[in-house]
Structure 1
Amino acid sequence: MSSIQRAAVLGSGVMGAAIAAHLANVGIPSLLLDIVPNKVTPDEEKKGLTLESKAVRNRLANFGKLGLAKAKPAPLYSTKDMDMIETGNFEDDFHKIAECDWIIEVVVERLDIKRQVLAKVDEFRKKGSIVSSNTSGVSITAMAEGRSEDFRRHFLGTHFFNPPRYMKLLEIIPTHDTSTEVIQDMRVFCENVLGKGVVIARDTPNFIANRIGTYGLLVTLDELQKSQFGVDEVDVLTGPVLGRPKSATFRTLDIVGIDTFLHVAENVYDQSTDPEEKAIFAVPSVIQTMVEKGWIGEKNGQGFFKREKTAQGREIFALDLETMTYRPRKKLSSASYEAAKAAPTLQKKLQTLVYGEDAAATFIWDVMKKTLIYSAALVGVIADDIVAIDNAMKWGFNWDLGPFELWDAIGVRRSVERMKAEGLSIPAFVESLLSQGESFYAQQGQTVQSFFIGSGYKEAKHDERKIDLALLKENGHLVMGNKSASLVDLGDGVACLELHSLKQAIGPDVVSMMMKAAQEVEKNFEALVISSEAANFSVGANLMMMLMEAQDDNWDEIDLVIRQFQNANMRLKYLKKPVVIAPYGLTLGGGAEIAMAGTQLQMAAETYCGLVEVGVGLLPGGGGNKELLMRWMERMPNGTDLSPIPLVQKAFEAIAMAKVSTSAKEASELGFLRSTDRITVARDQLLAQAKLSSLELARDFVPRRHTGVQVVGENGAAYLKIGVFGMKKSGYISDHDEKIAHHVIRVLTGGKAPGGSVVSEQYLLDLEREAFLSLCGEPKTQARMQHMLQKGKPLRN
């Protein structure tokens, strides 16, 4: 869909503005329109503005756009991209949608208003442009009634989940009139360009994820009111132990907004013709009462939970649904839960809890059995197959397993026998499965080979845009490895170094594999990629190991470890074959140093990259100071008389303030990316794109040559120290912060080397290692390291 060069977003509320922001993230300019206000504000009146003033007429769209810079979490990769959003209003600027290739309606959730706006779209749009409605449940078919044939062929629902930048799920809802080519093209565009996980949903109330998710939440609430448990205890039971987010059930409702949840539930209730379903979606009186009181969740300060000030500080209190008062949270007492929590795998956790024998296990079983049966009854109703339903729940509600994957995990036959014994009716879809097999999915290791469709099993298609490291290893592509890292053959002459230590922390095993991988790739491969499929790229060095060595005064050991890590990064940097690093998620400390060691970065858009060692009283020790300095110095225009000190200052600020990017674009602004580096929006395509980039580089690859680094010397150091002195004098930093900052300055400015001289990279690495060792010996640094390990946050001492 390269033809989508410009978009229009109609409606500038929270969702509309956030969709425009994500379009800007991926380089698509948009027109953000909203209605014209019917009166001026007091501030506008003071400025002499009237209803005819452009600033007044565009107020709503301008407000939506300006709010993007302050919103948390940030909707934009970089606030610099705000310039890609043009604002206007429905009366003066609607004709401009004729310039747009995709028009997204995001107005209020009322069919009559949506139909009015879409009628106007039909009047002004150009033929062939895509038109979609972002709705969480209004009928797409009803919206299209009465529209032109070309409109209907190019119209569909695009249900973004909030916030659009971060939530992977996008439900595409076609009508019977929507062109199959449009459906397919939009799917590919939304996956490749917007980075979404797309599912095709049928035009039914609340589509897929909200239909099942809302049902599950209501069933949980219903069972809660029959049980001895409180909302806090149920959140413990329905969180990570079930493969669900920490926010679990009632914390999730507080985040989403209980008023929003009420609207979604009522939408199914109003449209359902099934008495049993209608009974479940009849919103409980407790929800109605909470909405009437304004207890609608985080946005109003209280819902199922409330933060209050106490003598111990701010504490979270839970709502007692019987008394409608808040009480201190209780600790869950359950042998089944404790056993499940200790189980080694998610499958074992689920089986332990579901088939346990205490009240907690019974509670989970009663919720789960109803949700599973409901999901099975909707196959062919809300979606064509179980894969769409499972993906919708994983991507939209952050479940680790969708309902049919979960059913496989607890055992379909065993659970169905129990359901029947309890008098439950089993959907024909499940009965059909058990007459032909034992599970909804047929797998090889962790990889799905086929899935059940009712009449039998359908082969799962391999997506060439994605690489599955686990499958490659299962099929004999493991070249070598140890407990912390593996070298995997990706095919076509490309190898991948995969980090799989705890939190991808960098220790001796990882460094050893970096050196072995370098040797193997130079001998037998055309290129190397470094990435993995874990939650994050790397949280940095093994801090516990470093602290223990420092407390035991093993300075030679620390020196050796740091020297080996520096050597491994330099080995990668000057490898005779191209090295593409593909970081994503947390890429901190040593992880960022590995990222900067490659020939090229293929960075995921959602990468949070930074040299954060100052937070534990250290400075980067694996070459990070040197590499960030070199990247900034490369930005100095050739033939200029400008001082390089401001560029050195940029590197210093990033390191001394432990700045962490909120995106790959911001990582570039902090100096971590070069102009030749690339950004991938679709996280699940990152490894495949890194492989393609490595093959491109391999065609005519010329290894790097050592060129040295120009340093600014003691004059530059004096300039930077003035700033540090000012911060110390103002009370912003402590004595120990000042000491660390001076070490960073010494490394970045070249120590005693004269200003303007060129030093070797090894010279800077030696300065860096000396500074690292010196700081390791400081009691206040060791206290910071200890505090981080115990509390998970920095200590200011």
Structure 2
Amino acid sequence: MSTLNIKKVAVLGAGVMGAQIAAHLINARVPVLLFDLSAKEGPKNGIVLKAIENLKKLSPAPLGVKEDAQYIEPANYDDDIEQLKTCDLVIEAIAERMDWKHNLYKKVSPHIAPNAIFASNTSGLSITELSKGFDDELKARFCGVHFFNPPRYMHLVELIPTGQTKPEILDQLETFLTSVIGKGVVRSKDTPNFIANRVGVFLILAVIAEAEKYGLRFDEVDDLTGARLGRAKSATFRTVDVVGLDTMAHVIKTMQDNLPDDPFFSVYKTPPVLEALVKNGARGQKTGAGFYRKEGKAIKVLDPKTAQYVDGGAKANELIDRILKRPPQERFKLLRETDNKQVQFLWAIFRDVFHYIAVHLESIADNARDVDLAIRWGFGWNQGPFESWQAAGWKQIAEWVQQDIDEGKALSNARLPAWVFDTPVAEQGVYTNEGSWSPAARKYEPRSTLPVYAKQVFRAPLVGESSADAKTYGKTLFETEHVRAWIDSDDSDVVILSFHSKMNTIGPGVLDGIAQAIDLAEKDYAALVIWQLTSLQLGAPGGPFSAGANLEEAMPAFMMSGAKGIEPFVKKFQDTMMRVKYANVPVVSAVSGIALGGGCELLLQSAKRVAHVETYMGLVEIGVGLVPAGGGLKETALRAAEAASAVNATSDLLKFLQKPFECAATAKVSTSAFEALAMGYLKLSDTIVFNVHELLDIARKEARALSASGYRPPLRARQIPVAGRSAISTIKASLVNMRDGRFISDHDYLIAGRIAEVMCGGDIEAGSLVDEEWLLALERRAFVELLGTQKTQERIMGMLQTGKPVRN
């Protein structure tokens, strides 16, 4: 396969999607030209400049660091169209109007470079129809590339060819989307709304129909169809509000206009409640009202009978939870047979989606895997619909669905296709060790073998399909109830350590495991990588790397001996972190998701960090009334001293401590790996990865590279200049103003003061030289003393009981 190095991208259209696609390309350090029409007044690039400025204000943030908006290059079609020749990929992202797109294509196509890929970010228009008017050479380089909104966070990108798109174009683009910008790519057939929106929107329409049939409220349905089913917390109607009711109506209209012969065509009717809301200007979250409306602090829900917003809070019957906890086969039997309207509703929506995907699989996708991954990555489901069907017993579910069809209970009278009953699927399901069932090919299709996937040690797992199990993969070197240390093969030279604790918290058992793994690596291997498998459970970015120290494990010692009883645990934590820092082999932390408190301290003292772009890192101990005491404050003091020394400014240490102090004193958490770099938690020498599935592979390669280059641990710092008592006084003076202005509580003032004391080296003269043990002792003392206060104990108990910080 020829390779295409995409060095620069043009995005056509600076609307919501176009601007955010451009932003995420900048996140990935891909230069971007963002085009739109010339402004009628003011600067000719005014439309694009306004869109770029708006990127800094959006929530969730499309940019890893909002200042990076400056790297998006504005352009207009009148003055800058020749610059398209400098781009290797051109993505059109204007409004969903076929005529508008064709008019734009006539303007830009003569200026697209002869080897560039041209793609449309349409959410459902025919790619083949869009390509009409192109010459054969451009048609061969044209395809659909459907990003989901918001592009930075949604893992799914659908790749849609026409009959004339060159296969190597798709391979090149899939490689770029997968590795450079970190997406999960699913190839779709060129049918209306492709895979995810086709199935997802049908399910929303089915939910609306079944909810009306069973007389369920919108908030009641959302409580039933969200996290309880392993789906996005926004469930059904909140999701529609977020997406936009007008957008939803447009996608439904696409299905109405283009699928007249679909056996489910009657389901594609725009629901009257949706039609009425859009007509009245209630388009969801962007207008402040949709199925829900916020009134003050209260969230009201629409009552379709009265068209008024009423108090929300309708919940699922406790019977639902009991049923959903049962094994899949028993669960579905209970859902089908239990006489309760909420239970019957759940069976109905499962039946409806099983019916739909079976009927349409051959027309919309190459195999069942593509449908499941599209729904998981595009709609936030833990498990795709085909996976759920297979886990519950393929043949039995198929018979029940067909029985409902025969009895007129389903949304269509279309029979299940023959392959459901008359192929190996009937006995084995759609997933086997051979791959995923393709009705068109009448065989099980294996996963893609594109070279980019060789970097994914663990690809997104699917129920029933053969894939590496991260919990047992490779050769176990040792395993305890707290950790597992393993290598991927007998000839591997890198030990991998994963935690077993809830949220990968760090207690005495995990600390022992870290020390044991380092001992083992120093004796027989080249390096140690600390990596958690939780980020792969959904086959998409997740986490956590570690939520910090395990306070629950420390509580018995506190109950027996008070605050002093915790000191041995704190000392052990510090000693283990120093063992990480000064190990004779490189210890590389591969991090995604949250790395808070002690998890952040583990990263700070690793030889190197390989971080997924969606890494949320911070020293947050103030939230439980404590100071970081695993070496985190020691490391920030040391890094500040090193930075000051590098510019001969050790007499002005406070300037270099200000930012790390503010981060720790406000429990600031990075909103991306790039912000963690700006905050000083990551270094310029660290590696940022965009695809979470590549994290382990890249971490192992970085660890091997360190080892191969003759890695030696840093020399122990014995003369660290500190800012001393004068800097502490300066910081505390600013804290007094915040306390007296009631921006912080008295206890916040006390904790922040202790953080300042540790970072500045304690009550000694400015410029005094200390070692790491001195700073660690300050951490321990502050930690233990704060633990002895009533307000800190209230914060800890509040966090353990509710998971939320107590502000006292």
TM-score strictly above 0.5? yes
Q: What is the one-letter code of the residue matched to 2:282?
A: W
1:435–1:348 distance in 2 versus 1, CA, 3 Å? closer
Pair 1:671–1:2, CA change in 2 (3 A): farther
Match of 1:640 in 2: 648
Q: Does 548-557 or 474-483 show the bigger shift?
A: 548-557
Of the three residues 95, 107, 116, the one matched with 1:108 is 95
Aligned to 2:539: none
Shift of 1:254: 1.2
**Is the partner of 2:125 in helix, strand or coil?**
coil
> Per-residue CA shift, 1:404-452, capped at 9, x if unaligned?
1111122111111212333442122312345663321125xxxxx5222
Structure 2 partner of 1:576 = 584
Match status 1:507 vs 2:492: no
Q: How much does 1:30 deviate?
A: 1.1
Distance 1:461 1:122, change over 3 A: closer
2:525 partner letter: F
- 1:632–1:671: 8 Å Cα contact kept in structure 2? no
CA 1:676/1:12 → structure 2, altered by over 3 Å: closer, same or farther? same
Show the 5 A alignment for 1:399-410: 399-410=381-392
Alpha carbons 1:65, 1:85 under 8 Å: kept:
yes
Deviation, structure 1 residue 150: 2.8
Structure 2: distance between partners of 1:168 and 1:261: 20
Q: 1:6 to 1:346 in 2, by over 3 A?
A: farther
2:436 aligned residue: 451
8 Å Cα contact 2:527/2:704 also seen in 1:
yes
Deviation of 1:624 after TM superposition, in Å, equals 0.8
Change (3 A) 1:335 1:671: closer
1:24 alignment counterpart: 26
**Residues 758 and 775 in structure 2, CA contact (< 8 A), matched pair in contact too:** yes
The Cα of 1:180 is off from its aligned counterpart by 1.2
Whole-angstrom distance in 2 between the partners of 1:509 and 1:353: 42
3-state SS of paired residue (2:643): coil
* Residue among 725, 736, 760 paired with 2:736: 725
The 1:696/1:793 distance shift into structure 2, 3 A limit, reads same
Match in the other structure for 1:595: 603
Which residue is equivalent to 1:788?
Answer: 799
Distance 1:583 1:32, change over 3 A: same
For the aligned residues, what is the CA RMSD?
Answer: 2.1
Cα 1:2–1:616 change in 2 (3 A) is: farther
Deviations 1:178-213 (A, max 9, x none): 111111000001000010000111111001100000
Residue 557 of structure 1 pairs with residue 547 of structure 2: no
- Matched with 2:464 is none
Query: Contact conserved, 1:433 with 1:439, CA < 8 A, in 2?
Result: no
Aligned residue in 1 for 2:713 = 703
CA contact (8 A) 2:425 2:437 kept: no
1:168 touches 1:196 (CA, 8 Å); kept in 2?
yes
Give CA-to-partner distance per residue, 1:586-623, whole Å, 9 cap, x none: 11111101111211000110001000001111110111
C-alpha separation between the residues in 2 aligned to 1:388 and 1:439? Answer: 15
Q: Secondary structure of 2:222's partner? A: helix
Distance 1:373 1:198 in 2: 25
Residues 723 and 765 in structure 2, CA contact (< 8 A), matched pair in contact too: yes
| Cα drift, residue 272 of structure 1 | 0.5
Report the counterpart of residue 48 of structure 1 in structure 2.
Answer: none
Please show how residues 10-409 of structure 1 align to structure 2 within 5 Å.
10-38=12-40, 51=41, 53=42, 55=43, 57-309=44-296, 314-332=297-315, 334=317, 336-343=319-326, 353=335, 356-409=338-391
Between the aligned partners of 2:688 and 2:328, the Cα distance in structure 1 is 33
Q: Which residue of 2 aligns with 1:763?
A: 774
- Would the aligned equivalents of 2:246 and 2:278 in 1 still touch at CA under 8 Å? yes
C-alpha contact 1:350 1:409 (8 A) present in aligned 2: no
Structure 1 Cα separation of the partners of residues 565 and 686 of structure 2: 35
Paired residues, number: 772
Alpha carbons of structure 1 residues 22 and 542: separation in structure 2 relative to 1, 3 Å: same
Moved more, 274-283 or 603-612: 274-283
Q: Deviations over 1:276-314 (max 9, x none)?
A: 3221111121211111122221122222222224xxxx2
- The letter of the residue matching 2:10 is A
2:393 aligned with 1:411:
yes
Verify the 8 A CA contact 1:28 1:84 in the aligned structure 2.
Answer: no
Equivalent residue, structure 2, for 1:42: none
Aligned-pair CA distance for 1:549: 4.6
Percent identical: 37
CA distance in 1, matches of 2:580, 2:4: 36
Q: Secondary structure at the match of 2:616?
A: strand
Identify if the C-alpha distance between structure 1 residues 71 and 330 changes in structure 2 by more than 3 Å, giving closer, same or farther.
Answer: closer
Matching of residue 490 in structure 1 with residue 488 in structure 2: yes
Aligned to 1:528: 528
Residues 524 and 402 from structure 1, CA distance in 2 versus in 1: closer, same or farther, beyond 3 angstroms? same
Distance 1:631 1:782, change over 3 A: same
Cα offset for 1:32? 1.2
CA contact (8 A) 1:195 1:683 kept: yes
CA displacement, residues 123-177 of structure 1 (integer Å, 9 cap, x when unaligned): 2122111111111011111111111333212111111100000000001111122
Q: Secondary structure at the match of 1:83?
A: helix
Decide whether aligned partners of structure 1 residues 435 and 144 sit closer, same or farther in structure 2, where only a CA change above 3 A counts. closer
Q: Is the 8 A contact 2:558 2:565 kept in 1?
A: no
SS of the equivalent of 1:422 reads helix
| Residue identity opposite 2:763 in structure 1 | K
- Going from structure 1 to structure 2, the CA distance change for 1:793 and 1:475 (only over 3 Å counts) comes to closer
Deviates more, 1:674-683 or 1:184-193: 674-683
Contact 1:373 1:427 in 2 (8 A): no
Asked if the contact 1:496/1:531 (under 8 Å) is kept, the reply is yes
CA distance in 2, matches of 1:2, 1:153: 15
* Amino acid in structure 2 at the alignment position of 1:218: L
The counterpart of 1:623, out of the listed 614, 631, 635, is 631
Confirm or deny: 8 A CA contact 2:562 2:788 kept in the other structure.
Answer: no
Judging changes above 3 Å, is the alpha-carbon distance between structure 1 residues 327 and 176 closer, same or farther for their aligned structure 2 residues?
Answer: same
The 1:408–1:356 alpha-carbon spacing in structure 2 relative to 1, beyond 3 Å, is: farther
Q: Shift of the alpha carbon at 1:250?
A: 1.1
CA distance in 2 between counterparts of 1:234 and 1:407 reads 21
1:432 corresponding residue in structure 2: 422
CA 1:331–1:436: 2 relative to 1, 3 Å: closer
Moved more, 203-212 or 85-94: 85-94
Give the Cα–Cα distance (whole angstroms) in 1 for the partners of residues 663 and 420 of structure 2.
56
Q: Equivalent of 1:543, from 540, 551, 556?
A: 551
- Say which is worse superposed, 767-776 or 75-84, in terms of deviation: 75-84
1:266 alignment partner AA: K
2 CA distance for matches of 1:212 and 1:634?
55
TM-score (norm. length: structure 2): 0.92
* Other structure's SS at 1:483 match: coil
Q: CA deviation at 1:330?
A: 4.7
Secondary structure class of the residue paired with 1:676 = coil
> Quick check: 1:336–1:352 contact (8 Å CA) kept in 2?
no
Gapped runs of 5+ residues in structure 2?
Answer: 407-414, 460-467, 535-542
Aligned counterpart in structure 1 of residue 455 of structure 2, from 453, 465, 478: 465
**2 CA distance for matches of 1:413 and 1:351?**
13
- Residue identity opposite 1:15 in structure 2: M
| Matched AA of 1:479 | L
| Distance (Å, rounded) in 1 between the aligned partners of 2:557 and 2:215 | 50
1:382/1:637 CA distance change after superposition, 3 Å: farther
Counterpart CA distance in 1 for 2:313 and 2:56 is 39
Label 1:577 to 1:94 Cα distance change in 2 as closer, same or farther (>3 A): same
* 1:783–1:107 distance in 2 versus 1, CA, 3 Å: same
Q: Give the secondary structure class of the aligned counterpart of 1:471.
A: coil
Deviates more, 1:298-307 or 1:542-551: 542-551
Do the aligned residues in 2 keep the contact of 1:540 with 1:590 (CA within 8 Å)?
yes
**3-state SS of 2:533 partner:** coil
CA contact (8 A) 1:34 1:61 kept: yes
